[in-house]
Amino acid sequence: MSNETWLITGGAGYIGTHIADEFIRAGKSVILYDSLYQGLEPRITYLRAHHKTEIPFIKADIRDYNEIEGAIRKYKVDGIVHTAALKAVGESMEKSDEYFQVNLEATNELIEIAKRNSVKKFIFSSTAAVYGSPDTMDPCTEDGPKAPISPYGDSKFQAEAKVTAFINTPGNFGTSLRFFNVVGTAAPQLLDNSVENLVPIVLGKLNKGQAPEIFGTDYPTADGTCVRDYVDVRDIARAHLAAADATSALPPAMNIGTGRGASVREIIDLVLQATNKSDTEVIQSPRRAGDPAFLCADVSLAKSAMGFTSKYSLEESIRSLF
Ligand code: UD1
C-alpha cells in the first residue's frame, strides 16, 4: 500500500498539505490539485524541499473536470483524498448556490470520474457542521441526528451520501471523515491562513495589538463560553493515513476529534500564555447566532474501525503555532 499514488484535491490547502506530508512520509506518491483560490503554493514548495522530492502540482479549479480526469489518467491514481471545498460558514449563507456547486456537484462529478477511471479509493473531508447546532451536552455520535444549519454543512452532508454510494459498490473503498475544530501545524510554512476560526482570529488580533473577543459568556457550560473539540491538523492527517491503509471496510463516516472539549476562554488563555500576553484584556461580546454551546466528538468509532486516536494535546497544538 505504501507505493500507492493518491490525488489530493485542495492539495495546497492547510489540511491538504498536512495530509500530503503524512502520506509522503509513509512512502506514498501524491499529486496535488488546487485552484489556489484559498491554497498557497509556498506550502508545496516547502513540502518539496522538506521531503527532497518532486511533487506534481496541477493548478486548476475542482470544477475543471477535463483537467482533473487528465491528471487521474496521467498519474495512474489509486486513490483520491478530496479536501477541495468552500468552507466559510457565514459566506455560505449568502452564496449557497456556489457552495452546493463546489462542495456537492463537484464531489459528485469527481466520483463519476473516479468510477470511469477505475479509481477504487475515496476519502472525503466532511465536517462536524453536519450535526448542526445540537441542544444537548452529549458528544456527537455518527449515527445521531444530522441537522446542518448552514449551506456549508448541508452541502457536505449531501456530498457524504454520494461518497457512501461509491464506497458501497463492491471493490470500492473509503469513507467520509467529519473534522471537528482543526488547530495546530506541522511547520510554520503550513499554517492555517484562514481568517474565520477562533485561533487564527485571536492571533490576528494580538498581532495588531487588538483585544480578543469572546462571543457569549452565558452558555450553560462550566465557564459560560462555548465548548468545542479542537483536534490537531497532524492528527487529521494521521486519520487519513489510517483510513487509506485500513485493510477492512470502513464505516461510511467517522468523527475525527479528540473526544475532549475545550472552552473559548481556555483557548484564548492558552494563546495568551503562549504569546506572553496573559495580561491582555479580553472583550466579552454577545452570543454569535447559530453557535451551539457544546460540540464535541464521540471518537469511539474511528478507534474501533481503524485504530485511530488523536495524539497531540491542545497545549502542543497551540505551541506548534509559534
Ligand atoms: C465553524 C462551523 C464548523 C466548521 C468550522 C470551521 C458552525 C456551527 N460551525 O465551527 O462547521 O467546520 O467553523 O470552518 O458554524 N469565537 C469567539 N471569538 C472569536 C471567534 C470565535 O468567541 O473571535 C467562538 C465561536 O463563537 C465558537 C468558537 O469560538 O464558539 C469556535 O468558533 P469557530 O472557530 O468559528 O468554529 P465553530 O463555529 O465551532
Cα 173 from Cα 164, distance rounded (Å)? 10
Which residue in the list 33, 46, 99, 152 is annotated as catalytic?
152
Q: Is the CB of 201 under 6 A from ligand 1?
A: yes
- Which CATH number do you get for residue 144? 3.40.50.720
Question: Active-site residue 152, yes or no?
Answer: yes
Q: What mean pLDDT, rounded, does the chain reach?
A: 96
Q: For residue 134, what are the domain limits?
A: 5-179+231-257+298-310
Question: Is the pLDDT at 1 greater than 80, yes or no?
Answer: no
pLDDT for the residue numbered 195: 82
- Distance of CA 290 from the midpoint of ligand 1 (Å): 10
Residue bearing the CA closest to ligand 1, atom 30: 226
Say if residue 2's pLDDT is above 90: no
Q: Which atom of ligand 1 is nearest to the CA of 292?
A: 8
Angle between helix 41-51 and helix 14-25 axes, rounded to 10 deg: 10
Encode pLDDT of 124-149 as tens digits.
Answer: 999 999 999 998 999 999 999 999 99
Grid look-up 471545498 returns 85
Distance 225 CA to ligand 1 centre (A): 12
209 lies in some domain: no
In a domain, residue 322? The reply is no
- Does ligand 1 come within 6 angstroms of the Cβ of 231? no
Counting every residue, how long is the chain?
322
Residue burial 146-158, b: 16+ Cβ < 10 Å; e: rest: bebbbbbbbbbbb
Q: Report the largest interatomic distance among the alpha carbons of the chain, rounded to a whole angstrom.
A: 59
State residue 214's pLDDT score.
Answer: 98
Say if 290 falls within a structural domain: no
Q: What pLDDT, on a 0 to 100 scale, did the predictor assign at position 61?
A: 98
pTM of the predicted model, to two decimals? 0.97
Instruction: Give the C-alpha separation, 127 to 133, whole Å.
Output: 13
Counting ligand 1 atoms within 8 A of each CB, the residue from 177, 195, 215, 280 with the most, and so the one to mutate, is 215
Going by the DSSP 8-state scheme, the letter that residue 190 receives in this structure is: G
Q: How many domains does the chain have?
A: 1
Contact status, residue 296 vs residue 260, Cβ threshold 8 Å: yes
Q: Does any domain span residue 316?
A: no
Give domain status of residue 186, yes or no.
no
Listed range (37-41, 132-136, 253-257) with the worst mean pLDDT: 132-136
Euclidean distance between CA atoms 214 and 223, whole angstroms? 12
- Please report, for residues 85, 96, 124, the alpha-carbon distance to residue 127 in angstroms, rounded to integers and kept in the order given: 11, 17, 10
Ligand 1: does its nearest atom lie under 6 Å from the Cβ of 128? yes
Tell me, yes or no, whether 219 lies in a domain.
no
Measure 197 CA to ligand 1 centroid, in angstroms: 6
Distance (angstroms) between ligand 1 centre and the Cα of 61 equals 27
Cell of 50: 522538506
Q: DSSP characters for 58-92? A: EE--TT-HHHHHHHHHHTT-SEEEE------HHHH
pLDDT of residue 185: 98
Identify the DSSP state of 163. Answer: H
pLDDT of residue 193: 87
Residue-wise pLDDT for 297-316, tens only, equals 999 999 999 999 999 999 99
- The verdict on the CB of residue 213 being under 6 Å from ligand 1 is yes
pLDDT band of 3, cuts 50, 70, 90 = confident
Residue with CA at minimum distance from ligand 1 atom 16: 198
Nearest to 58 by CA among 90, 69, 165, 47: 69
pLDDT value of residue 71: 98
User: Does 50 map to a domain?
Assistant: yes
Residue 32 Cα to ligand 1 midpoint, Å, equals 28
β-strand partners of 305: none
For residue 56, being part of any structural domain is answered with yes
Give the cell for residue 70: 487528465
Which residue's C-alpha cell is 460558514?
Answer: 89
